[in-house]
Structure 1
Amino acid sequence: MPEAFRNDDERLRSEVDRVMKERAEHGLEGLIGGLESIVINTQPERQKDAVQEVLNTTGYVFEQAFERDGIRTCVLKKDGSADMLVTSRLVGENPFRPVNRGPKGDAMPDTRLETLVFKCPRLEEAVAIQKKRGVRFLTEEPVRTPSFLFMQTEPSPYTGNSVGYLQWLDGEGAYRPDDAQRLDWHFEKPDWPHLRDVHELDHAATRVRAEERDKAIIEFMELTNYHFDFAIYVEALNSITNVARLSAEDFAMVFTSGIEPFKSVEESGPTELFIHNYNTRVHHLAFRTENIEKTFDALVEHGMEFLVELVGSPEEGLKQTFTRPMSSTFIVNEYIHRYGDFDGFFTQSNVTMLTKATERQ
């Protein structure tokens, strides 16, 4: 009888070493920069609600809305943070729909955070290298406008996410092509003081299957210049939180999986249960937050529901919390504050309590 699968960092780290060497050999190091934007697709009838949810719960502001080639796009921005594009497909097929299937995900079959877009100043060179390595893209050639070049991979078989490359040519931050139809959409940004304490995107966390954890992390490293940093195991909940970094100052990518594969709803733990219900996808977006206690209280006062109270303490180095999933996107907001000279990223106790909280969704 074959031995049951169980994740092991030794296997992963041997693959990490291989990828780092191959990236250097192919000339990819330094070609792909930090996170420039994220693309969240919604059901068309929920798009405005999705934008308003972001405005009501983060420091982001609405900039503009436009439509081009059957895709409606709302651009939201926050100084010092990656941009947020909330989109809806009005015509045509959705290449992400197959990876959105699940008992709960089926309720909004076109909704997910689809693409993480990274700055790529020499896009055509990077794409040519990746094509030779067998990477498949959604278009044969880059999307070209006077302002930018853009190319994105097909949805990953391990995460359901796509990685995008963006090269600004002129007018950095100008997402609306000249031939796009500008939409007369307006949103009210609440003038709530606590939203000024919700800052940039700190990290995003993708749920991946236990048996595909290594493949998901390695694939992401092959598509970006990120490196694998560390993993925290929560044995009691059958969960591993894995962190990939570009640098200590940049947006981080988190991959959470089971230690062992899904067996049943009753015994597999909250991480594998989430995947069973929603398929692999980004579970939450984390925002760096000042005055986190007051911010938490104010969010509750304005109707926000949470999966867990604030966890952590100044003595431990950080505090965090998870909201309930946003009604229009399935995405959970995390608010995180690191104290003083805390030089870590997470703590074992916080990871355990936050993982446990996801049982409630």
Structure 2
Amino acid sequence: MTQLICGNCHKVYDSSKHGRCPKCKRTTTQFYEFSNSDDFLQAQIPKIEQFRKDTGLQGLVKGLNCVIINTEPENQRLAVKEILKNTGFSYGHSFQDTNNIITVLNANNSADILVKSRKIDKNPFRSYNIRPKTQNFPNTRLESFVFEVLNLSKYVEIQKDQDVKFLTDIIDRDNYSFIQTMPSKFIGTSYGFIQWHKNKGDYHPDEFKSTSSDIKKPDFEYLKNIKELDHTATRVKAQDRDSAIIEFMKLTNYKFDFAIYVNHLNSITNVARLSAKDFAMVFTSGITNYKNPEESGPTERFTYNYGPRVHHMAFNTDKIEDSFEGLKANGMDFLIQLVGSENEGLKQTFSVQSPNTLIVNEYIHRYGDFDGFFTRSNVTDLTRSTDKQ
């Protein structure tokens, strides 16, 4: 079965099912066998930049404020303890409202991590969580990336004009106003937007119940080396790679920076950045779509087994060799040893997948004035290691 890509609207579809593009109905001969490249994406960038200027979106959205991870109720406390044990994040506060139990974790100069579980059955993300290897985790995923905005009402007006769908209307609190999109059909994750009025970092709703916690952060010395959230990597289906990145750029002020192709593993690592110093958003996809376990490569196998979702959270790490040994000594297992070197500009490693969040931890250290973000050799080694999942 051949998969084609429409030269007009970039829709990917099976040639055996349609005689013409099912989206734009084009019937000309401008169809191409599907394989990802940067051509279409690069052509869209100036259009998106003009869209931002024309609508007033430019400069309206700032950097990442927090990520929201939802777990099964019995795993929420375990997930908090795990993050405290394996990162430099500290306990902030816990509370519950009508629908959720939430713990806030903080680190200096970093987006926060909110770990929560639902008290109700309703879950708009559940359909994205039912895959061959996630059957027992119907509520578990990093659900939302939350970005700070300067004027939420204006932002929502702009995006509603573009037919963006939100889960609710704007939620106004004393400390902040908040809204989030429906889960993206490309990544299964929502984008949230928050405007702070006062007490930035205080996520308590107006009516809540404080939850005391006896969870203590371990005092391992190496945890001081593990710092801010550097980036996350979301794995998406090959056919959705361009659409996922374009969607993200239209919702934020991030720009597509570069892509690293690892052809023999059928994988592309795509990086979007706000600036060199800000949290980076990484999307990883196949070059071609999933065919079967033998031919598809680790990235497409992951999306087949787990669905599109955040694969790992990466933490900037000083003294990475000492930190790596300390983590191992205290029970953390890894998919791969440290890869890279000072001469190459960086070192990285992947932990095994968390049984509580289904997320891998990456630990990364860049040396000196290295500004390449990644290297091809490291990306290749790290991608290959995820075959063990």
Tell whether the structures are fold-level matches, with TM greater than 0.5: yes
- Which residue, 159, 162, 170 being the options, matches 1:133? 162
Residue of structure 1 aligned with 2:146, choices 114, 117, 121: 117
Instruction: State the TM-score, normalized to the length of structure 2.
Output: 0.91
CA–CA separation in structure 2 for the residues paired with 1:66 and 1:237: 44
- Find the counterpart in structure 2 of residue 55 from structure 1: 84
Structure 1 stretches lacking a partner, 5+ long: none
Matched, 1:190 2:192: no
- 1:355 and 2:380 aligned: no
1:22-33 aligned at under 5 Å gives the runs: 22-33=51-62
Moved over 6 A (4+): none
Of 66, 70, 74, the match for 2:99: 70
Paired position in structure 2 for 1:302: 330
Residue of structure 2 aligned with 1:80, choices 105, 109, 123: 109
Rounded to whole Å, the distance in 2 between the matches of 1:99 and 1:17 is 32
Task: Give 1:48's aligned amino acid.
Answer: R
Which of 334, 342, 346 does residue 318 from structure 1 map onto? 346
What is the identity, as a one-letter code, of the residue corresponding to 2:309? R
Q: CA RMSD in A?
A: 0.9
Query: 1:271, 1:315 → 2: CA distance?
Result: 28
SS at match of 1:85: strand
Percent of paired sites with the same residue? 52
Larger Rg: 2
Deviation, structure 1 residue 267: 0.9
Q: Provide the C-alpha distance between the structure 2 equivalents of 1:85 and 1:192, rounded to a whole number of angstroms.
A: 22
Letter in 1 for 2:225: D
Measure, in 2, the Cα distance between the counterparts of 1:331 and 1:213.
20
CA contact (8 A) 1:232 1:348 kept: yes
Which amino acid in structure 2 is aligned with residue 314 of structure 1? E
Structure 2: how far apart are the matches of 1:260 and 1:127? 35
- Residue 119 (structure 2) aligned to one of 90, 96, 99: 90
Map 1:1-361 onto structure 2 (within 5 A): 3-139=32-168, 141-361=169-389
What amino acid is aligned across from residue 43 of structure 1 in structure 2?
E
3-state SS in 2 of match to 1:105: coil
8 A contact 1:70–1:92 mirrored in 2: no
- The alpha carbon displacement at 1:4 in A equals 3.1
Shift of 1:222: 0.6
| SS of equivalent residue, structure 1 residue 346 | coil
Q: Any idea what the Cα deviations from partners look like across 1:9-51, whole Å, max 9, x if unmatched?
A: 1111112221111111111000000000000000001100000
2-side partners of 1:174 and 1:45: how far apart? 25
Shift of 1:250: 0.2
State the 1:69 CA deviation: 2.0
**Structure 2 segments unaligned to the other structure (5+ residues):** 5-31
Q: Greater CA deviation, 161-170 or 14-23?
A: 14-23
d(CA) in 2 for partners of 1:4 and 1:266? 21
Q: Which has the higher contact order (CA 8 A, sep 6+)?
A: 1
Per-residue CA distance 1:143-195 (angstroms, 9 max, x = gap): 11100000000000001111110011111111112310111222110000000
Q: Read off the aligned partner of 2:137 and give its amino acid letter.
A: M
